[in-house]
A and B are shown apart, each in its own frame.
Chain A
């Protein structure tokens, strides 16, 4: 800690370390990681259940749900990826691209 720092700043930095070190030891502990894993799983399960209920309700009214849109976007992305790969292949066959150098 440089000596030319004002007293208030040195105090803040000391307090930050005094509080920060125990917090770091907690958030780097196995218990914390297990807790985060469990919380994430529970949250996903709750969101999944809620999505399932709302999807069934929307489908009853013949309306698309968010998951339908998501699925469609994923399919579109897959198709665009495939198209990109094909255009890359065509470009290489045409000699527009440098040699790949793959062995």
Chain B
């Protein structure tokens, strides 16, 4: 007997099921029309914030929200290829919101959308020009001498180079989230750029940047048919407002890439991809050699176990190369490159563990309310309670 077919369905259950299906069909029709028309889109990056510093397209945001109970401030450095609102996707599903709610003083360094004016931005421009100035402002407005610097994806490379290349960086904690170190392990993402295939200039358009479409195509080709599965799952869950909202938010972000500044792209291809230079432990930058072992603070290497954009083997060498060996820690999280920072898995694993680690390596502020101590132990417990990931 098939266990999925009920042997006897009483009239009450049957009526309830019919009611539910009718109700869902109505909701499906309503949400389907909204989806096709593109109305009722969720608010993205909605956590309230102030712009505290701006230069060119780069902006430093300071998030508002709960009491700031811990210092130093957390400055998130976003990647150069995608939009930063992935870490603040929507209310209730936002790493930034989670961190501010836990009492951290969170800043985001957003690079904006590069255009022809940014074509000459090289890695030095980011590491030696934007980062020092943005972090000086974060220190000034927060009243702390130190920062916790968290880099996501390529933002992690910039953060590590800054922390290693500036004696006065004052980075107490360096968090590298899905940060590639060994580009030989990056697989399909960089395969087109290997020696003998495309030269960087062949991907750069008339604005002097790599167009956002080219970057989107790169990500799309990692799994070209999954969109079918995603759309089918959406159809099944179209009655569920929350699911549709989450789907729309994610779909918007995954198509919302930004152009990659040409000068930085040339360096990325030549040094990071072709020479795999980070694996030597140092890199030439601005006429000097930046040694990754010179990072003085605590280092947390956070990686997603099912990341197919920056796979774990590309991230793992952080544990051998960045900072003082005695101050390195590794955090393996479930999920992929994107679900790393958003979604139910992130809410359950990434957000509490990252926040817990940061609080563990921060100081309670002098004027912190007594409840701060309770929160500290809560996040610490969550972090250490589940050591399997």
Measuring CB to CB, which residues of chain A are less than 8 angstroms from any residue of chain B?
Answer: 5-6, 9, 12-13, 16-17, 19-20, 23-24, 27-28, 30, 33-34, 36-37, 40-41, 44, 70, 73-74, 77-78, 80-81, 84, 88, 97-103
Measuring CB to CB, which residues of chain B are less than 8 angstroms from any residue of chain A?
Answer: 53, 55-56, 115-117, 119-120, 128-129, 132-133, 135-137, 140, 166-169, 187-188, 191-192, 194, 197-198, 202-203, 206-208, 221-226, 228-229, 232-233, 236
Q: Are B228 and A103 in contact (CB under 8 A)?
A: no
Q: Are A80 and B117 in contact (CB under 8 A)?
A: yes
Question: Which residues of A are found within 8 Å of B228, using beta-carbon distances?
Answer: 12, 16, 20
Q: Are A23 and B233 in contact (CB under 8 A)?
A: no
Question: Which residues of A are found within 8 Å of B203, using beta-carbon distances?
Answer: 40
Q: Are A40 and B225 in contact (CB under 8 A)?
A: no
Q: Are A12 and B224 in contact (CB under 8 A)?
A: no
Most buried by B among A12, A99, A101: A101
- Give Cα A75–Cα B192 distance, bound, in whole angstroms: 30
Which residue of chain B has the shortest Cβ distance to A103 in the bound complex?
B167
Question: Which residues of A are found within 8 Å of B188, using beta-carbon distances?
Answer: 27-28
Which residue of chain B has the shortest Cβ distance to A102 in the bound complex?
B132
Which residue of chain B has the shortest Cβ distance to A33 in the bound complex?
B191
Question: Which residues of B are found within 8 Å of A78, using beta-carbon distances?
Answer: 120
Q: Are B187 and A28 in contact (CB under 8 A)?
A: yes
Contact of A37 among B137, B167, B198, B225 (CB under 8 A): B198
Question: Which residues of A are found within 8 Å of B135, using beta-carbon distances?
Answer: 101
Contact of A97 among B133, B168, B194, B232 (CB under 8 A): B133
Question: Which residues of B are found within 8 Å of A28, using beta-carbon distances?
Answer: 187-188, 191
> Given A13-B232, A80-B117: A23 and B166 within 8 A (CB)?
no
- Give Cα A97–Cα B117 distance, bound, in whole angstroms: 21
Question: Which residues of B are found within 8 Å of A33, using beta-carbon distances?
Answer: 191-192, 194, 197
Closest 5 CB pairs of A and B: A20-B225, A77-B116, A101-B132, A98-B136, A37-B197
Q: Are A13 and B229 in contact (CB under 8 A)?
A: yes
Q: Are A81 and B55 in contact (CB under 8 A)?
A: no
Q: Are A40 and B198 in contact (CB under 8 A)?
A: yes
Question: Which residues of B are found within 8 Å of A80, using beta-carbon distances?
Answer: 117
Query: With contacts A6-B236, A12-B228, A13-B232 known, what are 10 further pairs, Cβ within 8 A?
Result: A9-B232, A13-B233, A16-B226, A36-B198, A73-B206, A77-B207, A81-B117, A101-B136, A102-B132, A103-B168
CB distance from B294 to the nearest CB of A (A): 11
